[in-house]
Structure 1
Amino acid sequence: DVYYLDDPVITVHQSDDEVKEQFYFERTVFLRCAADSNPPVHYTWLRGREVLSEGSDSGVEIYKPFFTQGETKILKLKNLRMRDYADYTCIASVRNSCDMRDKRSVFSLSNNTAPPSIRLLPEEPVVVNPGQTVILMCKVSNGDPPPALRWSRQEGEELPKRSIVDEGTMTIPMITADDGGPYTCTASNNVGNPAKKSLSILVRGLCKGRFWITPDPYHNEDNIQIGREVKISCQVEATPPEELQFSWLKNGRPLKSSERMIITHTDTSVSPGTTNLDIIDLKFTDFGTYTCVASLRNGGIPEISIDVNISTTTVPPELTIPKGQSQLIVQEGDTIDLQCLVSGKPKPIILWSRVEESGAAAAAAAGRGTTG
């Protein structure tokens, strides 16, 4: 067997129905000492230099709780007295089984002892453009001893590599879309439960633009015909979704909603955002190129535009790779251009994806292609 003894850790709690911001007189306080070890550890409690044992003080109980993992020993101080405000030492020992030095931990209990509480600045979600610098501040509003602060992301995700953490202040320079999401500040001083507060960073962006036509011109039974209704739907994911706005163009000129050209948008709280152009009683003069333009209300982000050609002639998408371009050999660090030739009416949207060695495709991102 491997013998070891970790440093003991003292945590302090009050009864659930007695929790206050401070440990007032006539309150029951529990000091819990725990240490991982092999073989099992033996604990000794000191108040100042006085060894505490069961029965030595009517105001003190020492016991091992049920239903706990690992070795632990709890010191219960009933109805705090002035002499209970002192330095408490937990000594962990395995000397009965092996020759290892004892280890100890000290906690100073006072009338100022209190669990941590914190506040975040700013308090609201932070909305920024890519490339900006974001500063999040976690301020301690209460807690004795002074709490330790730690920033984290959800599900154990690492903080951005560029982030700089100085106590409770975290700075993220040159922020990217991957840096967006909730961040949590945790304050802990081993008194009561740790204090946690979260704040979200929203990095403005537009992505995954797509369109569809009703009736679907790619199916023979659903041809676009004069006199019928045609609906063009355009969908874009936006951050933040409430800033998303759409506009429509016909042959490069702004298009406004009318009795025959009805433009509608989904609720901005619904993501992804969708806009619809309903053409009632299609006429020959309605044929042309319609452009859906998505942008963010506060700017700072390039807009996304999607062209849709409406005509009686529809051609399903066809994709080809230029001769000699299907397999490229390059050296690490080289710049490489990937090209595909795409044709079809309406003009297809081109999406690039990376295929991993396992064969699973990575997340698709809108890319550039050449339309024939």
Structure 2
Amino acid sequence: MNISDEPRFAVEGSNVTVVVGRDAALLCTVENLHNYKVAWLRVDTQTILTIGPHVITKNHRVGVSRSDSQTWSLTLRDVRPSDGGRYMCQINTEPMITQTHILQVFVPPDIVDSSSSSEVMIREGDNVTLHCAASGTPQPTILWRREDSALLTVNGKSVLKWKGEWLNMTSVERQMNGAFLCIATNGVPPTVSKRIVLHVLCKPTANMTQKMIGGYLGESVQLQCMIEANPPPVVHWTHINANRLPNGSKYQASMTSQGYKHTAVLKVNNVSRDDIGSYHCYAENSLGVESDDITLYTLATTTVTTTSTTYETTKMDTTSSQPYAELNPNDEMYEKDSFEEDNYVVVLSQHQMQSLDHPPSS
């Protein structure tokens, strides 16, 4: 037999990439095969898979076919990560000739829960390290971000995202309280993520939305206190005598929360002169207690009749210790003799009434 008639490989060995769970095919093209046979072997285990058209291995996922007179195809169904490696196409000449093919099995990313952070609890001002481990082929890249898309503070810098298995944050502030997402990707869909909740424990702060508020006699008024605290605080309200106000028909206390931010509301029903004065909002958790105050004054609308005109004026009730607007007897619509003399009552002009519609805020 001439050298030109001897069996030879028509193309070079292939490098095939397939995603786990799919089927893979390795092609071996031989010219001048004559009566020789083509065999497929697994290199790392030296396992004979096929000889000619016959499957030798007991692995039911392995198959062999001949697409034309020169091409022998080794097929692997439902590829697994363990199928990755080197495969050899062999012709039984003397000496034998071989060709190597490489199968790469890509695996989508997966978060390794046992090696990753879960819920983490620290005190405000402490340092914290979050870890996210992922497996996959190729090795996944880890990206961190806040679930609410707020900024991260890493190494003194504010960033939207951070890359790496480890997220190190120093002197953590209460604003970092919430859920973090570690996202693993390696170019093989689907991308996966893990939700890690960071609890930043902080002592309460309390701030009234206003320092003074007016309420009409006989109606209701709401006092609002903005609180930051984690764990969530226990809130109570007091009036002048420092006794806790009971929750009932007269006083109705409620609180709504979002993360470490809380809004406490005290509704005072059927406002009377007895309700005048300062109210304190107390917020307490295991790390401390904080309070703030607000002053309630009362308003009453009264009709004043003169010989030719009927006016509506407003009375403002306040305690003698609370300042009130000075009145000018020359102001329009001022009637100094229209009410009985009362230390708790002042009569306001139209201009001053308009000012009362917008109580000063803190």
TM-score by length of 1: 0.47
More strand by share: 2
TM-score by length of 2: 0.48
Larger radius of gyration: 2
